[in-house]
Amino acid sequence: MSPVKFKANQRAPLYRDVPDEKWNDWRWQLSNRLNTVEDFEKVLPLTESERKALNAQGLFRVDITPYFISLINPEDPHDPIRLQVVPRAEEIVPFTGMMEDSLAEDRHSPVPGLVHRYPDRVLMLVTTQCASYCRYCTRSRIVGDPGATFSRAEFEMQLEYLRRTPQVRDVLLSGGDPLTLAPKLLEELLSRLREIEHIEIIRIGSRVPVFLPQRVTQELCDMLARYHPLWMNIHVNHPNEITQELADACDRLTRAGVPLGNQSVLLAGVNDCVHIQRRLVQDLVRIRVRPYYLYQCDLVEGAGHFRTPVAKGIEIIEGLRGHTSGYAVPTYVVDAPGGGGKIPLMPNYLVSMSDHKIVLRNYEGFITTYEEPIEYHPHDPKTCPYCQNPRVEPGQSGITGLLEGEAMFIKPEHFDELHNRGGGVHRLRANDEKWKPLGIGDVHHPDEP
């Protein structure tokens, strides 16, 4: 049991008489999920907008566990949990600039369900099913559709690709939600991955501890512990999601040796507030979950109403860094549309830089200078065994990257042009006169031609 106490056993009045054995059984929770106007009306009075969305054709799948819907205050149409899982009319309005596969994951898939975008790690989509469905889902193009789920043959192809690709040392299981897989299937998946020697770590991305903490049984934790080193990222967006049930599930996972991180999404009306975020990250570290990423909401069709300006994310990080434990501060990232990967964004603490002195500001706005060393004797790559035998050579991975293996500098006079090109990945070529190749250790001077 978690040593930290949070609100426990919240149940909507509809579930008052459900026996504990049923309520605490993840199978009962899954088979009693809510998804129709009639279901919802038994728990909360729907707004016009929600009713309209629920009656629309082609709506992204809706399903909410009794446990999770019970965390909503039924009187509040703006409840932060409600906004995440109950569809609103804005969802069915097409929004220009939105994309089906905004991160171009399908283009980076050497085999179906495997996204290989970074040199040493892959994303493996193992199911399209979730315990409940987030209205801003970045993979709503495939998630929720039981017909689109990955087949045994595709799984064998994924394994074959991993066996033949020794630079992959980190496999990130996602989907859908890997913890919704049948327990036997999940264990088979983990044991088959563990047979591949070059796979050093396995990661699971899951919102099951949040939607369905009942699934995180001691039995599941014992099984996961057989496949270490195994890490897990959960997905909590608002402090109201941190209940005693979640705290206990996280306690079981960490005691099984699974380090926990959190990935949250910055969502308009839900958590676009530094006070909410500070409470969220502080409560997360209390349950031993390390905030990992705060994502800018992706350009997904049907999720336009969740988007915030990027400045809001930077303002939140500004309000966390220095103001609270460093452990509690996530990295704010924009996943670049078109497949550029995650790009970290930070408030600027470097005010200016010259050869021997840099000017910095701290979290309170206090300005300070830092003297650079006059003499610097760097380590010698010629005698360094790590430099002599790098594990991943640039370009070895065969993945198309933003820079195609070369560090490039865009000349300032072409910034406007880049802005005007709009979203997507822009491939830079060494022979393109607008881009200047940058050698390692080179310093760029803005006034240089």
Ligand X SMILES: *Cc1c(COP(=O)(O)O)cnc(C)c1O
Binding site for ligand X (CB under 6 A): 115, 117-118, 121, 123, 172, 342
Return the number of the residue (81 or 111) whose C-beta is nearest ligand X.
111
CA 122 – CA 168 distance, rounded (Å): 7
**Which CB, 33 or 139, lies closer to ligand X?**
139
Question: Dihedral of the CA atoms 305, 402, 105, 393 (nearest 10)?
Answer: -140
Which residues form the catalytic set?
A: 117-118, 121, 130, 134, 137, 139, 298, 335, 342
Smallest gap from residue 170 Cβ to ligand X (A): 7
Minimum distance from residue 23 beta carbon to ligand X (Å): 34
Q: Residue 133 Cβ, how far from ligand X at the closest point, in Å? A: 19
Specify the length of the chain in residues: 449
| Least distance to ligand X, CB of residue 258, Å | 16
Place of tokens 């500004």: 318
Spatial contact of 102 and 138, defined as CB atoms under 8 Å apart: yes
CA separation for the pair 116, 355 (Å, rounded): 39
**Of residues 118 and 435, the one with the C-beta less far from ligand X:** 118
**Closer by beta carbon to ligand X, 343 or else 387:** 343
Q: Are strands 341-345 and 331-336 parallel, antiparallel or unpaired?
A: antiparallel
Question: Min. distance of Cβ 115 from ligand X in angstroms?
Answer: 4
Both structure tokens of 263: 């990935």
Closer Cβ to ligand X, 83 or 329, answer by number: 329
Residue 130 assigned ligand-binding role: yes
The residue whose Cβ lies closest to ligand X is 123
Task: Write the CA distances from 99 to 115, 139, 206, 300, integer angstroms.
Answer: 18, 11, 24, 5
Structure token pair of residue 95:
């929004």
Q: Which is nearer to ligand X, 248 or 298 (CB)?
A: 298
Residue 137 annotated as binding site: yes
Residue 280 CB, nearest approach to ligand X (Å): 19
**Residue 122 structure tokens:** 């892959």
CB of 162 to ligand X, least distance (A): 13
CB of 181 to ligand X, least distance (A): 20
- Enumerate the β-bridge partners of residue 66: none
* Residue 68 identity: F
- Residue 282 CB-density burial (10 A; 0-12 exposed, 13-18 middle, 19+ buried): middle
Smaller CB distance to ligand X: residue 239 or 261? 261
Q: Which is nearer to ligand X, 123 or 249 (CB)?
A: 123
Strand order in the sheet with 357-361: 350-353, 357-361, 367-371
Binding-site residues for [4Fe-4S] cluster, in ranges, read 130, 134, 137
